[in-house]
Each structure stands twice: as C-alpha cells, then as structure tokens.
A and B are shown apart, each in its own frame.
Chain A
Amino acid sequence: QSALTQPASVSGSPGQSITISCTGTSSDVGGYNYVSWYQQHPGKAPKLMIYDVSNRPSGVSNRFSASKSGNTASLTISGLQAEDEADYYCSSYTSSSTLVFGTGTKVTVL
C-alpha cells in the first residue's frame, strides 16, 4: 500500500488561508468516507483534527475544515496562526482493511 500523496510544504502569512491536498486512489481516499487529518508538532504524538472526511472532534478550532472530491481530500486552515505551524498528515481506510497515511506536509507560518 503506497502512502497517500501530499505536498511537502505549504506556507502562508498570519490570517491567510491555506489548503493541503491528499491524493490517493479509488481503493482508499476515493472509495471510503474515512479520511482523517492529523496535526503533529515536533516531538509530539499526532493529534486528530478531522475525521470521516469533514468532521471536527470537539475542541478543534473551526478554522480547520476539510472535504473530498474523487480520489483527493483537502484540509483548509483559515485565519492562519503561529500555533498552526506543524506537520500535517492525512490518513485513509483502504480496501484491504488497512490504514494508510500521507507523506506529510510541513506548514510554515511566515
């Protein structure tokens, strides 16, 4: 199972919006509404930000939103803040009943 494809880096100024893409196949992202997004700060465990394509767990800022179209999922961070600087990973359930993670995107707040 190949990792889902994400851009290596995305940057934006405070207050701006950025979007991170996550491209898979019809056997994972495109086949199920089980896409999640994780935020990871250096030396920390990943934190769930989005699940089931577009749902936010309680406590996650509504500045984080997500969607899916075909084999590509997207995470948007609006009103970018310094604390949003981190690595972001998508994840999807697959047709093999396994999980696959994305290659990761480093978000830099300029």
Chain B
Amino acid sequence: QVQLVQSGAEVKKPGASVKVSCKASGYTFTSYYMHWVRQAPGQGPEWMGIINPSGGSTSYAQKFQGRVTMTRDTSTSTVYMELRNLRSEDTAVYYCARVRQSAHVFPVDYWGQGTLVTVSS
C-alpha cells in the first residue's frame, strides 16, 4: 500500500531554514508527481509546489519562489522540501502529497502524516 512517511516536528528561529523529508513506499517512486502543501493553524491548505521524482523538475508557487527548494533522492525514494529565511507566518503543518494517477499532476490523493514546523524566537 502507498505510504508517505515524513520527518518529525521542527522548531526554528526566524531567519533559519528547515528541510522536511518524505519517504515513499508501496509504489514506483519515479512514476508519480509529488506536491507539497502546507496548512497554517486554523487555515486552509496552501499549495507550495510540485516535483517530478523522475527527472527532478519542479514548479513552485509564486509566493515561495526564491525561498523554497524541492529535491528528490531516487535511491531512497525520498522527496525533500527546504524552506529558507523562515518567519513566524511559516508556522504550519507541511504535507507531502502524491498524485492519484501516474503521469498526471492533479489531483493529490495520498498524503503524508504532516510535519509541524514552528517558527519562534
């Protein structure tokens, strides 16, 4: 069965960086796009970007351009999301989410358990 297991909660100071991992199993890693979505406390989900695990190509939401980098390691079936220059507004649960069908970019179907990132001085 498809499983996405994310790294644990993080506490960071403003200006720092965070790197969240998402290890996939139960399917062919390189055949399905992966999205990153975050959700601030009490808010709706917010799309951050997408990565193609096959070639590593990425597309980011304009809001995060220049601050986010998504990468993958095919040897371990893991995708990563690094967010730099953190501010308090970045406090949120960060999810990786796999698309439903191979070679499709939408919709997202399988979700990781979420990683809480807290930014506080």
Where the two chains meet, the residues of A that have a C-beta atom closer than 8 Å to any C-beta of B are 1, 3, 34, 36, 38, 45-48, 51-52, 57, 89, 91, 93, 96-104
Contacts and interface: CB of A to CB of B under 8 A. Distances in A.
Contacts, number: 57
Contact of B111 (A34, A46, A57): A46
A29 to B, nearest CB: 13
Contact of A101 (B45, B109, B112, B113): B45
Interface string B58-75: 010110000000000000
A100 B44 contact: no
A57 B43 CA distance: 25
B47 A45 contact: no
Given A48-B109, A57-B109, A101 B44 contact: yes
Interface residues of B, number: 23
A51 B100 contact: yes
A5 to B, nearest CB: 11
B89 to A, nearest CB: 15
Contact of B47 (A38, A48, A98, A104): A98
B109 A45 contact: no
Nearest to B112: A45
B100 A57 contact: yes
Contact of A99 (B47, B62, B100): B47
Closest CB pairs A-B (n = 5) = A45-B111, A36-B107, A99-B47, A104-B44, A51-B107
A89 B44 contact: yes
B114 interface: yes
B19 to A, nearest CB: 20
Contacts of B61: 1, 98
Nearest to A32: B106
Contact of A46 (B43, B45, B100): B45
Contacts of B35: 99
Interface in B29-84: 35, 37, 43-47, 50, 59, 61-62
B46 A101 contact: yes
A3, A99, A101, most chain B CB atoms within 10 A:
A99
